[in-house]
A = this chain, B = another copy of it.
Amino acid sequence: MAVGNELLIGKTCDTNSNWLAQQITKLGGRLRRVTQTPDELEEISEVVREALARRPDFLLTVGGLGPTYDDKTLQGVAQALNQPLRLNPEALRMVEEKVRQLAELGVLKRPWLTPEREKMATLPEGAIPLSNPVGTAPGVLIKAGGTTVICLPGVPSEMKAIFNLHVAKLMAERSDLKYAEGSLLVEGIPEPDLSPTIDKAVERFPEVYVKSHPKGEEAASKIELHLSAYARSLEEAEEKIREALQWLEGEALRLGGRVKRL
């Protein structure tokens, strides 16, 4: 879930969730839902509760870990988990270290541990802070039943750095699947007329997901067929994609289409 009013007023496009979706997929995971929610305590905690009820392996939150009054994600998570918020000594050490560095850089006049900075080290009880190589606010990991809840900051460079450093490995360990994909551009066959061929491909290659994406104006009849598959090994996943691509290519040519691998 992505937290932030800026998403719901359309000021910011949620590229964070898009980036995370790519990483999760590459790691063999399947992202089941993305929710964008405003900076409101009750909303955040409701979305967390609803997500936990679906019992995912991982629940990721992005945004709302900063020092300002409307950074409420950890409050929302704590409320959803019925855990109090506590100053976390390990997180405090991380924040202090950053404050010291900023003071050395001359950004701060002195290593000032204000209440706003302490807020970033105040975590739900039982949480583990994840060091942030780029900014001050640590990421947060909390176990909730079978779900690992991970809270990441909304600044893209910080979100990516914490994901790469701490989260990617956890996800790869949890998944025994690999993901592969491929695309075919078909021109000259309107989508409704290509649709029966897609149905046949889905029957013939049940482990390959085929999705058609119309490109540009409908009258141009330009369709991207995107194929994706999961398998135990990357080679196996790629082989599935290769076979299905080849078959679809032949069928599209037979229907009089022009075909290009993307």
- Residues of chain A touching chain B, judged by Cβ–Cβ distance below 8 Å, are 4-15, 17-25, 30-39, 43, 47, 50, 66-70, 98, 102, 105, 107-108, 112, 114, 116-117, 120, 134-136, 155, 157, 179, 181, 190-193, 195-196, 198-199, 202, 209, 211-214, 217-219, 221, 226, 228
Contacts and interface: CB of A to CB of B under 8 A. Distances in A.
B67 A219 contact: no
A173 B23 CA distance: 42
A193 B34 contact: no
B214 A66 contact: yes
9 contacts: A5-B209, A6-B213, A9-B25, A10-B20, A69-B202, A98-B218, A102-B218, A114-B192, A116-B195
A17 B6 CA distance: 12
A3 to B, nearest CB: 11
A214 to B, nearest CB: 6
A68 B191 contact: yes
A32 B21 contact: no
B69 A199 contact: yes
Contacts of A20: 10
Nearest to A67: B192
A217 to B, nearest CB: 8
A39 to B, nearest CB: 8
